[in-house]
Amino acid sequence: MILLELFLGFLQVGCFSFGGGYAAIALIREVVLSYGWLSEDMLSYIIAVSESTPGPVMVNLATYVGGSQAGVLGAVVATLAVVLPSFCIILALMAVLRRFVSNPWVKAAMIGLKACVTGMILATALEMVLANAVTNGSADMIAIALTLALTGLYYGFRPLFKRKLSPIALIAVSAVLGAAAYGIC
Protein backbone atom coordinates (compact mmCIF):
# COMPACT_ATOMS: atom_id res chain seq x y z
CA MET A 1 0.00 0.00 0.00
CA ILE A 2 2.06 2.87 -1.35
CA LEU A 3 0.03 5.67 0.27
CA LEU A 4 0.44 4.19 3.73
CA GLU A 5 4.18 3.72 3.14
CA LEU A 6 4.50 7.32 1.97
CA PHE A 7 2.55 8.53 5.00
CA LEU A 8 4.59 6.55 7.53
CA GLY A 9 7.91 7.27 5.81
CA PHE A 10 7.40 11.02 5.75
CA LEU A 11 5.77 11.10 9.19
CA GLN A 12 9.06 9.69 10.47
CA VAL A 13 10.97 12.42 8.63
CA GLY A 14 8.62 15.07 10.05
CA CYS A 15 9.04 13.79 13.61
CA PHE A 16 12.83 13.79 13.62
CA SER A 17 13.93 16.61 11.33
CA PHE A 18 15.75 18.65 13.97
CA GLY A 19 18.19 21.28 12.75
CA GLY A 20 16.62 22.72 9.62
CA GLY A 21 15.96 21.71 6.05
CA TYR A 22 19.32 20.22 5.14
CA ALA A 23 19.42 18.16 8.31
CA ALA A 24 16.22 16.46 7.15
CA ILE A 25 17.96 15.35 3.97
CA ALA A 26 19.80 12.56 5.80
CA LEU A 27 16.47 11.18 7.04
CA ILE A 28 14.69 11.64 3.72
CA ARG A 29 17.52 9.93 1.86
CA GLU A 30 17.40 6.95 4.21
CA VAL A 31 13.63 6.57 3.80
CA VAL A 32 13.58 7.15 0.04
CA LEU A 33 16.45 4.77 -0.69
CA SER A 34 15.23 2.05 1.66
CA TYR A 35 11.84 1.95 -0.06
CA GLY A 36 13.53 2.32 -3.46
CA TRP A 37 11.31 5.27 -4.37
CA LEU A 38 14.03 7.21 -6.21
CA SER A 39 17.62 6.60 -7.32
CA GLU A 40 20.46 8.43 -5.59
CA ASP A 41 21.03 10.59 -8.67
CA MET A 42 17.37 11.55 -8.94
CA LEU A 43 17.34 12.46 -5.25
CA SER A 44 20.28 14.83 -5.80
CA TYR A 45 18.45 16.45 -8.70
CA ILE A 46 15.31 16.98 -6.63
CA ILE A 47 17.33 18.46 -3.78
CA ALA A 48 18.76 20.98 -6.27
CA VAL A 49 15.28 21.75 -7.62
CA SER A 50 13.95 22.12 -4.05
CA GLU A 51 16.76 24.50 -3.20
CA SER A 52 16.04 26.62 -6.31
CA THR A 53 12.27 26.91 -5.79
CA PRO A 54 10.40 28.65 -2.96
CA GLY A 55 9.38 26.80 0.16
CA PRO A 56 11.12 24.55 2.68
CA VAL A 57 13.37 21.87 1.11
CA MET A 58 11.76 19.16 3.24
CA VAL A 59 8.22 19.97 2.07
CA ASN A 60 9.36 20.18 -1.55
CA LEU A 61 11.04 16.78 -1.36
CA ALA A 62 7.94 15.21 0.20
CA THR A 63 5.74 16.64 -2.55
CA TYR A 64 8.04 15.40 -5.30
CA VAL A 65 8.57 11.92 -3.92
CA GLY A 66 4.85 11.50 -3.16
CA GLY A 67 3.90 12.77 -6.60
CA SER A 68 6.39 10.53 -8.38
CA GLN A 69 5.11 7.43 -6.58
CA ALA A 70 1.35 7.95 -6.47
CA GLY A 71 0.31 11.08 -8.38
CA VAL A 72 -1.62 13.93 -6.81
CA LEU A 73 -2.87 11.83 -3.94
CA GLY A 74 0.66 10.64 -3.14
CA ALA A 75 1.96 14.21 -3.19
CA VAL A 76 -0.81 15.34 -0.83
CA VAL A 77 -0.30 12.41 1.57
CA ALA A 78 3.50 12.79 1.73
CA THR A 79 3.34 16.57 2.18
CA LEU A 80 0.68 16.24 4.88
CA ALA A 81 2.72 13.60 6.70
CA VAL A 82 5.91 15.64 6.71
CA VAL A 83 4.16 18.78 8.04
CA LEU A 84 1.85 17.08 10.56
CA PRO A 85 4.36 16.49 13.42
CA SER A 86 5.64 20.07 13.56
CA PHE A 87 2.08 21.38 13.24
CA CYS A 88 0.91 19.30 16.21
CA ILE A 89 3.99 20.09 18.30
CA ILE A 90 3.65 23.86 17.86
CA LEU A 91 -0.08 23.70 18.69
CA ALA A 92 0.65 21.65 21.78
CA LEU A 93 3.39 24.03 22.91
CA MET A 94 1.52 27.29 22.23
CA ALA A 95 0.79 27.96 25.89
CA VAL A 96 4.20 27.00 27.22
CA LEU A 97 6.55 28.22 24.49
CA ARG A 98 9.02 30.05 26.66
CA ARG A 99 9.05 27.55 29.50
CA PHE A 100 9.58 24.77 26.98
CA VAL A 101 12.71 26.23 25.43
CA SER A 102 14.31 27.14 28.75
CA ASN A 103 13.60 23.78 30.38
CA PRO A 104 16.97 22.18 31.22
CA TRP A 105 15.77 18.67 30.30
CA VAL A 106 14.60 19.86 26.89
CA LYS A 107 17.91 21.66 26.41
CA ALA A 108 19.84 18.51 27.34
CA ALA A 109 17.88 16.31 24.94
CA MET A 110 18.22 18.93 22.22
CA ILE A 111 22.02 18.94 22.43
CA GLY A 112 22.00 15.18 21.91
CA LEU A 113 19.57 15.40 18.99
CA LYS A 114 21.53 18.17 17.29
CA ALA A 115 24.85 16.36 17.72
CA CYS A 116 23.29 13.23 16.25
CA VAL A 117 21.76 15.10 13.30
CA THR A 118 25.12 16.76 12.64
CA GLY A 119 26.83 13.36 12.44
CA MET A 120 24.09 12.04 10.16
CA ILE A 121 24.24 14.95 7.75
CA LEU A 122 28.06 14.90 7.61
CA ALA A 123 27.97 11.16 6.87
CA THR A 124 25.29 11.64 4.21
CA ALA A 125 27.29 14.44 2.59
CA LEU A 126 30.46 12.31 2.53
CA GLU A 127 28.54 9.41 0.97
CA MET A 128 27.12 11.72 -1.70
CA VAL A 129 30.46 13.36 -2.53
CA LEU A 130 32.17 9.95 -2.73
CA ALA A 131 29.35 8.49 -4.84
CA ASN A 132 29.66 11.45 -7.22
CA ALA A 133 33.40 10.83 -7.67
CA VAL A 134 32.80 7.28 -8.92
CA THR A 135 30.85 6.33 -12.06
CA ASN A 136 30.26 2.67 -12.87
CA GLY A 137 33.02 1.52 -10.52
CA SER A 138 35.81 3.76 -11.79
CA ALA A 139 36.94 7.23 -10.80
CA ASP A 140 35.10 9.96 -12.69
CA MET A 141 37.88 12.47 -13.34
CA ILE A 142 35.53 15.13 -14.70
CA ALA A 143 33.35 14.93 -11.59
CA ILE A 144 36.37 15.12 -9.29
CA ALA A 145 37.81 18.13 -11.12
CA LEU A 146 34.42 19.90 -11.16
CA THR A 147 33.84 19.17 -7.46
CA LEU A 148 37.20 20.71 -6.58
CA ALA A 149 36.52 23.73 -8.80
CA LEU A 150 33.03 24.27 -7.33
CA THR A 151 34.32 23.88 -3.76
CA GLY A 152 37.04 26.43 -4.47
CA LEU A 153 34.49 28.80 -5.95
CA TYR A 154 32.04 28.39 -3.06
CA TYR A 155 34.56 29.03 -0.30
CA GLY A 156 36.82 31.38 -2.26
CA PHE A 157 34.00 33.69 -3.31
CA ARG A 158 33.45 35.45 0.01
CA PRO A 159 37.09 36.44 0.71
CA LEU A 160 37.50 37.59 -2.91
CA PHE A 161 34.23 39.46 -3.47
CA LYS A 162 33.20 40.34 0.10
CA ARG A 163 29.87 38.58 -0.27
CA LYS A 164 28.60 35.03 -0.03
CA LEU A 165 27.85 32.98 -3.11
CA SER A 166 24.23 31.84 -2.72
CA PRO A 167 23.41 28.12 -3.01
CA ILE A 168 21.25 28.87 -6.06
CA ALA A 169 24.17 30.65 -7.75
CA LEU A 170 26.40 27.63 -7.05
CA ILE A 171 23.76 25.32 -8.55
CA ALA A 172 23.52 27.55 -11.65
CA VAL A 173 27.30 27.58 -12.11
CA SER A 174 27.44 23.80 -11.64
CA ALA A 175 24.76 23.30 -14.29
CA VAL A 176 26.71 25.36 -16.84
CA LEU A 177 30.01 23.62 -15.97
CA GLY A 178 28.36 20.20 -16.10
CA ALA A 179 26.74 20.84 -19.48
CA ALA A 180 30.03 22.17 -20.87
CA ALA A 181 32.38 19.55 -19.41
CA TYR A 182 30.24 16.45 -20.08
CA GLY A 183 29.14 17.87 -23.45
CA ILE A 184 32.72 18.28 -24.69
CA CYS A 185 34.33 15.18 -23.14
Partner 1 sequence: MISLVEDVCVERRHWITQEEMDDLVVVAESTPGPIAINCATFVGSRLGGLLGALIATFGMVLPSFLVIFAVSRFLDRFLEIQIIANAFRGIKLAVGILILDAGRKLFLRLPKKPLPLMILFVSLAGTLAMHYFALRISSVVLLLAAAGTCLLVRTIRKGGGRP
**139 counts as binding partner 1 under rule CB under 8 A:** no
Q: How far is the CB of 1 from partner 1 (least distance, A)?
A: 20
**22 counts as binding partner 1 under rule CB under 8 A:** yes
In the region spanning residues 50 to 79, those forming contacts with partner 1, defined by CB under 8 A, are: 50-51, 53-60, 63-64, 67-68, 72, 75, 79
Out of 8, 111, 139, 141, the residue judged to bind partner 1 by CB under 8 A: 111
Task: Please check whether residue 41 is in contact with residue 65, taking contact to mean a CB–CB distance below 8 angstroms.
Answer: no
- Backbone dihedral region of 56: left (phi > 0), alpha (psi from -120 to 50 degrees) or beta? beta
Q: Which is nearer to partner 1, 4 or 18 (CB)?
A: 18
7-36: buried (b, 16+ CB within 10 Å) or exposed (e) per residue? bebbbbbbbbbbbebbbbbbbbbebbeeee
Which residue type does 85 have?
P
**39 counts as binding partner 1 under rule CB under 8 A:** no
**165 counts as binding partner 1 under rule CB under 8 A:** no
Can you tell me whether residue 138 is helix, strand or coil? strand
Q: How far is the CB of 53 from partner 1 (least distance, A)?
A: 5
**141 counts as binding partner 1 under rule CB under 8 A:** no
Q: How far is the CB of 9 from partner 1 (least distance, A)?
A: 11
Q: Give the C-alpha distances (Å, rounded to integers) separating 63 from 87, 137, 160.
A: 17, 32, 38
**21 counts as binding partner 1 under rule CB under 8 A:** yes
Q: How far is the CB of 7 from partner 1 (least distance, A)?
A: 16
Q: Say which residues have a Cβ less than 8 Å from residue 160's Cβ, sequence separation at least 6.
A: none
